[in-house]
Structure 1
Amino acid sequence: MLSETVTVPSGTVALPGDLVVPDEVRGMVLFAHGSGSSRFSPRNRAVAAELHRAGFGTLLLDLLTEDEERDDLVTARHRFDIGLLARRLAETVDYVEQRPDTADLPVGLFGASTGAAAALVAAAERPRRVSAVVSRGGRPDLADEALELVAAPVLLIVGGNDETVLDLNRRAAGRLPVKHEIHVVPGATHLFPEPGALQEVAEAAAGWFGDYLTPASR
Structure 2
Amino acid sequence: MNDATIPSGSTPISIATGHGPLHGVLTLPAATAALVVLTHAGPTPEARDDALAAVLRHAGIGTLSLDLLTDSEERFADIHHNVSLLSRRLLEGLNLVKQRMLVGELPTLPIGLCGVGDCSPVVLRVAALRDHDVFALVCRGGLIDLAGVVYLRSLTAPLLVLVDENDAGGTMSNRRALRELSCRQELQSLPASVLSPDSAVAFECVARATVHWFVDHLYHGH
TM-score of the aligned structures, taking structure 1 as reference length? 0.88
Aligned match of 1:21 = 28
Alignment of 1:26-175 (within 5 A): 26-33=33-40, 37-38=43-44, 41-70=46-75, 72-73=76-77, 76=78, 78-99=79-100, 100-145=104-149, 146-175=151-180
Query: Using CA pairs below 8 Å that are at least 6 residues apart, which structure has the higher relative contact order?
Result: 1
The answer (yes or no) to whether the contact 1:113–1:137 under 8 Å persists in 2 is yes
Task: Give the 3-state SS of the residue equivalent to 2:52 in structure 1.
Answer: helix
The answer (yes or no) to whether the contact 1:160–1:188 under 8 Å persists in 2 is no
Task: Give the 3-state SS of the residue equivalent to 1:198 in structure 2.
Answer: helix
Cα gap change, 1:2 to 1:195, in 2 (>3 Å): closer
Alignment size in residue pairs: 211
Shift of 1:190: 4.3
Cα gap change, 1:14 to 1:150, in 2 (>3 Å): same
Cα gap change, 1:86 to 1:103, in 2 (>3 Å): farther
> What letter corresponds to residue 2 of structure 1 in structure 2?
G
Cα gap change, 1:51 to 1:203, in 2 (>3 Å): same
Q: In 1, distance between residues paired with 2:112 and 2:54?
A: 15
Cα gap change, 1:10 to 1:216, in 2 (>3 Å): farther
Which runs of 5 or more residues in structure 2 are unaligned? Answer: 1-7
Aligned match of 2:4 = none
Q: In 2, distance between residues paired with 1:107 and 1:83?
A: 21
TM-score of the aligned structures, taking structure 2 as reference length? 0.87
Per-residue deviation, residues 1-49 of structure 1 (Å, max 9, x unmatched):
7312111234564211011111100111001225x534x6222222111
Per-residue deviation, residues 126-184 of structure 1 (Å, max 9, x unmatched):
11000000011132121112111111000001121222222222122111110000111
Task: Give the 3-state SS of the residue equivalent to 1:66 in structure 2.
Answer: coil
The answer (yes or no) to whether the contact 1:153–1:180 under 8 Å persists in 2 is yes
Task: Give the 3-state SS of the residue equivalent to 1:6 in structure 2.
Answer: strand
Cα gap change, 1:203 to 1:102, in 2 (>3 Å): farther
The answer (yes or no) to whether the contact 2:43–2:74 under 8 Å persists in 1 is no
Which runs of 5 or more residues in structure 1 are unaligned? Answer: none
- Name the Cα RMSD after superposition: 2.0
The answer (yes or no) to whether the contact 2:124–2:155 under 8 Å persists in 1 is yes
State the identity as a percent. Answer: 36
Per-residue deviation, residues 26-75 of structure 1 (Å, max 9, x unmatched):
111001225x534x6222222111101111111111101111111x23xx
Q: In 1, distance between residues paired with 2:221 and 2:16?
A: 29
